[in-house]
Amino acid sequence: MKTVIANKSYLLVAIVLLAFFLRFWQLGQNPPGLYVDEVSLGYNAYSILKTAHDEYGNFMPLVFRSLNTYNPALSVYTLVPSIAAFQLNEFAVRFPSALAGTLTVLLTYFLTYHLFKKRNIAQVASLLLAISPWHLQFSRFYHEVNIMVFFSILGLVLLFYSFKKHYLVYLSAISFGIAANTFHGAKLWIPLFLFVILIFYNREIFKFGKKLIIALLILAVFSLPTILNFQNSLVRPNSVSIFKEKKPQETFISGYLSHFSPNFLFMQGDFMGRHAVPGMGELYIFELPLILIGLFNLVRQKNRTAKFLLAWFLIAPIPAALAAPTPHAGRALVFLPLWQIIAAFGAYSLWQIKIAKYTKSIALVLLALVAIYNIATYFHLYYKHYSKEKAPDWSDGHKQMVQYIGQVYNGYDSIAITKYYGYPYIYLLFYLKYDPVKYQPQSENKDAFDKFHFYSGVLPRTFGKTLVITTPQPNAQNVIKQIKMNNGDTVFVAQN
């Protein structure tokens, strides 16, 4: 503790505690409901925990089949300890992402400190990431990209520290290897990022000698799951690829540039409801002047740190630009914590400008006022508006539907549920904590299990007394229950 206070690290501790609080507070309730991908990954992790097999009965798979696609293995395995500790619920599914988000704030400090050797730049960068709308959004639900960002930043920090302690290069390679197995975009991003790191830090990296070969072997081992399941690994990337478009090169350029759009960054954010809070950009508007000053000074400096950060800045949108739609806050999350580092450097540069103290004070007070208003608006929008406005984007109502079914389950011979919203089966498995041993043998049939039948359009043939869960219809008869989202809108009705 004495060392912490002596080094003035208590500020860093406070920043990390703030990051922890902002990521964990009301984690299970806001966003309001689990999105289908979270539910699927969560149930597969539960299945692995209980049986060492996934929902399809595959033993410890290296690539997970899930909702007509295949996901990198670590997207599921990172959830297993959390589900073991907290049971199968919303908090457990989101816990790894919130934890990774908090730790990324800490890593941002070490990364920035290594790059600039200035404690105050590192503190500002980590503080900006702690309160970043973009990073908070992705830390408060389970999206593999947030885990990838954490492991890639960990890999980078370890690599920088390995220049002095060479053995850390193995841990760095392991981190990058894990990152490559968390998210589809990582297959492109991690090699690209490593290539850029190699360009600017080759002098130190080639000093590793034999250790470098072992590190490369570690990376090769981690690339095996992708190579061994190459066809399956391409299912998702192919479905969103821009190469199906008429003019892919034009789509790529406009997609690439769209990630630098000030409206995307500072005013509106991503249009996908899960990726941003309506009325907010991905970054705060008060960061705009700091980013501009930071960028200008980086370009002017021309040292290695500046060149490395600018190269990162230029390659970050590439994975996102190769897919549609754009701009995409998720696929472009690899921009973090770069924006915050640039803004922190901009703030430092602003502080260094030699102008009258009086003028500087006025500028700082104005910036602080805008920042306070901006931050207050964001938290108001997130905690007051978001759960009401974007409830449908989070499949809110599915949990309530399953809870209702749980209450009346014994009173019916069969239960028919509409597939209008996508995949009701996985919500039933998740919220009923359905025994994976019972489900795995019948997993190929996605139209029925147990006494549940899933239909789109025409009702399936059922037997005995049937409960029908459908979407709200005008003049519907025999409605025995309206199932509502947290904002009060009806999402399902139960009919006899």
Partner 1 sequence: MSPKTRMKIIILLLIAITIVFKQAPKSQACDVYAAKRAIPPRIFYEQTIDGNNQPVLITRFLHNKIGIFASEVAKCYFNVIAPNAMYAGAGIFGVIFEIYLAYKLVLWKKWYILIILLLLPFAPFFNIFENQIYYMHKLFALFGLAVFAIKK
Q: Using CB under 8 A as the criterion, which residues of the chain lie in contact with partner 1 when the complex forms?
A: 253-254, 257-258, 260-263, 266-268, 279, 285, 296, 299-300, 376-377, 380, 384-385, 388-389
Closest CB 496 distance from partner 1, rounded Å: 35
Q: Determine the Cα–Cα distance for residues 269 and 259; give it in Å rounded to an integer.
A: 10
CB-count exposure of residue 140 (10 Å: 0-12, 13-18, 19+): buried
Q: Which is nearer to partner 1, 176 or 264 (CB)?
A: 264
Q: Determine the Cα–Cα distance for residues 369 and 211; give it in Å rounded to an integer.
A: 51
Q: Determine the Cα–Cα distance for residues 300 and 273; give it in Å rounded to an integer.
A: 38
Closest CB 303 distance from partner 1, rounded Å: 17
For 71, the token pair is 């996901």
Print burial letters for 243-261: b (CB count within 10 Å at least 16), e (below 16): eeeeeeeebbeebbebbee
Closest CB 158 distance from partner 1, rounded Å: 34
Q: Which is nearer to partner 1, 268 or 490 (CB)?
A: 268
How far, rounded to the nearest angstrom, does the alpha carbon of residue 482 sit from its chain's CA centroid? 33
CA distances from 205 to 155, 188, 211 (A): 13, 21, 10
Q: Which is nearer to partner 1, 203 or 246 (CB)?
A: 246
Return the SS3 of 417.
strand
Closest CB 189 distance from partner 1, rounded Å: 21
Closest CB 254 distance from partner 1, rounded Å: 6
Q: Residue 469's beta-bridge partner residues?
A: 417, 494
Q: Which is nearer to partner 1, 280 or 333 (CB)?
A: 280
For 367, the token pair is 């910036």
Q: Which is nearer to partner 1, 327 or 436 (CB)?
A: 327
Please, what is the Cα angle at 365 between 363 and 366, to 5 degrees? 65
Closest CB 277 distance from partner 1, rounded Å: 12
CA distances from 139 to 23, 24, 101, 274, 294 (A): 6, 9, 5, 12, 26
CA distances from 393 to 273, 280, 283, 380, 387 (A): 6, 17, 21, 19, 10
Q: Which is nearer to partner 1, 26 or 254 (CB)?
A: 254
For 329, the token pair is 């806050």
How far, rounded to the nearest angstrom, does the alpha carbon of residue 21 sit from its chain's CA centroid? 18
Q: Which is nearer to partner 1, 69 or 377 (CB)?
A: 377
Q: Which is nearer to partner 1, 377 or 490 (CB)?
A: 377
Closest CB 133 distance from partner 1, rounded Å: 15
Closest CB 255 distance from partner 1, rounded Å: 9
Q: Which is nearer to partner 1, 13 or 376 (CB)?
A: 376
Q: Determine the Cα–Cα distance for residues 94 and 292; give it in Å rounded to an integer.
A: 34
DSSP 476: -
Closest CB 267 distance from partner 1, rounded Å: 5
